[in-house]
Chains A and B, each alone.
Chain A
Amino acid sequence: MAAPSAAGLGRRLRAWLPRIMPVRWSRYNPSYLEPEAKKESYQKPLEALTEEEREQMELKAVRPIKAAPPTLSSSVFSDPMISKFTNMMMKSGNKVLARSLMSQTLEAVKRKQLEKYHKAPENEKETIECNPYIIFHQALKNCQPIIGLSNITKGGKTYQVPVPLTDNRKRFLAMKWLITECRDNKHRRTMMPEKLSQELLLAFNNEGPVIKRKHVLHKMAEANRAYAHFRWW
C-alpha cells in the first residue's frame, strides 16, 4: 500500500497517464504486478509456503496482473536470463537472428563439451559439465563484478568511487562485457556463436578476457578505496 490507487477497471485500459509526467512511464498502472509463468509455483500445497509467500499470494489475489510478454512462457525451454541475453544481442529489432545465434551458441557449447567428454579418460568423465544452460548460468555468475566504480565530482575533480552494485546491474554488466568482447576482439571470419561459445567455456573455468576485465575493475576499486567515503547513498 505504498502508493495507493483505485483500480479503475470499469473503463478500458486506455492511455493511463499519471498526474506528474515522468520521462520513463509505462502503460500499466503501478498497482499491476509481474506475472509468474512457472507451473511449479502454482502446484505447491498451502502448508509448504512461508509467511512472505502467503502474503504475496494474498496480494496477488487482489491486485491486477500485467500481461505475459512474448518472451515469457511456461515451457522448460524458456529461461529469463537467456531471453535477456538474447535481447541484448539483438540489433535493430531482429529477434529472429538473435535467437538463432543464441541457439547456435548453445549447440556449439554442447558439441565442444561432448567432444571433451568422449576424449576424456573414465575417471574424469563425471567432472565434465555437458548441459549448456548450466554452463551459461555459471559463466555469467563468474563474470559478475562484486563492486563497481562511479564518477563523483567533488571540488571540480571527478573521482572514481567504489560503489556497491545491485543484482540487476551486476547481471547487466556481465552480459554486456561478454557481448562487447565477442563483437570486438575476434577475427573477421569467425562467426558469433563460435566466439561466444569459446568465451562462455573460458568464463565457466574462470579464465578468459571477461574475467580479466572483472579482476581489473576489482583492483581499481581496491586502489580507490580511499575515496569510498565520497559516496552519500
Chain B
Amino acid sequence: TLRLICTTTTVQRKNVGASGPEKYTEAFIKKQIEEFNLGKRHLANMMGEDPETFTQEDIDRAIAYLFPSGLFDKQARPMMKHPTEVFPEQRKIQWGEDGRPFHFLFYTGKQSYYSLMHETYEKLLNVQKHQDQLIAQDLPLQKEKRNLAGSRWLTKIELEEMLLEKLSDDDYSRFIQLLQKLVALPCADIEEMYIQKFSKEVPAQLQKVVVEPLQYDERGVAFSTGEGKRKTARATAVVYDSGTGKITVNGIDILRYFPVLQDREQLLFPFQFLGRIGKHDTVCTVSGGGRSAQAGAIRLASAKALRSFVTEKEVEFMRQAGLLTVDPRVKERKKPGQEGPRRKFTWKKR
C-alpha cells in the first residue's frame, strides 16, 4: 500500500465540503447570489465605473480602497466574493421525505467513493472486453505510450473535494492503484476521457528560471554575477569571460583560503562539468557559515553566474547534475527533553 506522506504546503487545505450535511439551504444561497449581484452594481455606481463590465478584480480593488485594513491575515480583511466561493459546496440531503435514501450505496457510508470504484472497475472490464474482441479478430493491440512524466494523479484533497466525502489514505491509494491498473492495459485509449478527469498536468519544464544576459565592464570583458547560499553562508561570484581560470575569494587565492582539497574540488565542479576550466576568471565574496558551507555557497553562485555564458541545454544538464538547486539542509534544532536534535538523555533505571 502507498503511505501518503507527501503533501506540500499548497495542498494542505481543509475539505469543508465533506464535513457534514448542508448548513445552508439552496434558497439561502440563491438569495445571497442575488444580493451579491445587486451589491456589485451598487459598488460599480459608487466607484463611477460601468456596472455591466465590473470584474472580480475591480471589486477587490474597490473594497481594498474603501475599507483599508492593516490586518496581517489576508483572510481576515474585508472581502466581497461570489457566494459560491464564500460558502463551500455542501452535500445535499441524500434521502427523500419518506426517509428512503436516493443512492443505492448510501448505507456503505461512503457512497460516492464506492460508486466511483464501481464505475472505474466497469471501465476496466470494458477495456478488457474490447481487448478480447481485438484478439479474437487477430487485430494488433495499439500501444501508444501515454506520457506518464507530464501528468500526475489528483491528490487526496482534490479527490475529496470532487466527491464531497471524507476519504481515508487507504481508500485513496486503492483508487490510485485501480487507475494505474486501468492505464497499464494496452487498449486503455478508449477510456482516455474518463481517465483525464483524474489526472492533472504537471508544468512541463521545471526550469522556469530566467537567464540573465551578459554584462560588459569598462575593459570590454563580458562578466556575469551569481548569488549562492548554503546553511548560513552567503556568497556572490563574478565570473569574467577571458581569463586564466584563477579564482579569488575575499581577495585571497583559493589555494590559501581553502586548504582542504574537497572544497577546491567543489569550487571547480561547475567549470569542470562544462569543460571550461582555464577560460573563466572568478572573483567571489563570501561570509558566514563554516569551511564546507562557504565552498557550497560559492559553488552555487558560480554555477548561477555561468548560466549566462552557456546554452539552454547545458543549463538543463547543470540542473540535472544538482548544481543549480539550493541545498535546504540546515542544522536541526535541539528539542526540549532531549540532549540534542536526536540524542536522548542517558536512560537511568532509577
Q: Is this pair of chains taken from one and the same complex?
A: yes
Residues of A within 8 A of B (CB): 1-11, 13-14, 16, 18-20, 22, 27-31, 35-37, 39, 42, 55, 58-68, 70-75, 77-78, 95-96, 99
Chain B residue nearest in CB terms to A20: B5
| Residues in B neighbouring A71, C-beta threshold 8 A | 262
Q: Assuming A8-B8, A68-B322, is B153 touching A27 (CB within 8 A)?
A: no
In the complex, 24 of the A-B residue pairs with CB atoms within 8 angstroms, ordered by the A residue number, are A4-B176, A5-B6, A5-B7, A5-B8, A6-B152, A7-B203, A10-B10, A18-B7, A20-B4, A35-B321, A36-B320, A36-B322, A37-B321, A39-B273, A55-B148, A62-B204, A62-B205, A65-B320, A73-B265, A73-B266, A74-B272, A74-B273, A77-B265, A95-B262
The binding surface of chain A is classed by DSSP as loop
A99–B260 Cα distance when bound, in Å, is 10
A31 touches B272 (CB 8 A): no
B316 within 8 A of A: yes
Supposing A29-B6, A31-B6 touch, asked if A64 and B325 sit within 8 A by C-beta, the answer is yes
Interface residues of B in 203-231 (CB under 8 A from A): 203-206, 208
- A14 nearest CB neighbor, chain B only: B328
Is B312 in the interface zone, CB < 8 Å from A?
A: no
For residue B268, CB closer than 8 A to chain A, the reply is: yes
B2:A2 contact, CB within 8 angstroms: yes
A64 contact from B148, B206, B268, Cβ within 8 A: B206
| B interface secondary structure, majority | loop
Q: Which residues of the partner chain B approach A68 to less than 8 Å between Cβ atoms?
A: 269, 321-323
B: which residues have CB within 8 A of A?
Answer: 2-12, 147-155, 176, 180, 202-206, 208, 260-263, 265-266, 268-269, 272-273, 275, 292, 295-296, 300, 316-317, 319-323, 325-330
CA distance A65 to B321 in the complex (A): 8
Could you tell me if A19 and B4 are in contact, using CB atoms closer than 8 angstroms? yes
| Measured CA separation A102–B325 after assembly (Å) | 29
Chain B positions within 8 Å of A60 at CB level: 320
Asked if residues B322 and A58 are in contact (CB atoms below 8 Å), the reply is no
Do the beta carbons of B327 and A74 come within 8 Å of each other? no
Given contacts A16-B328, A22-B5, contact A61 B149 (CB under 8 A): yes
Chain B nearest CB: distance from A2 CB in Å?
6
Question: What is the distance, in angstroms, from B201's C-beta to the closest C-beta of chain A?
Answer: 10
Give Cα distance in the complex from A45 to B106, angstroms.
58
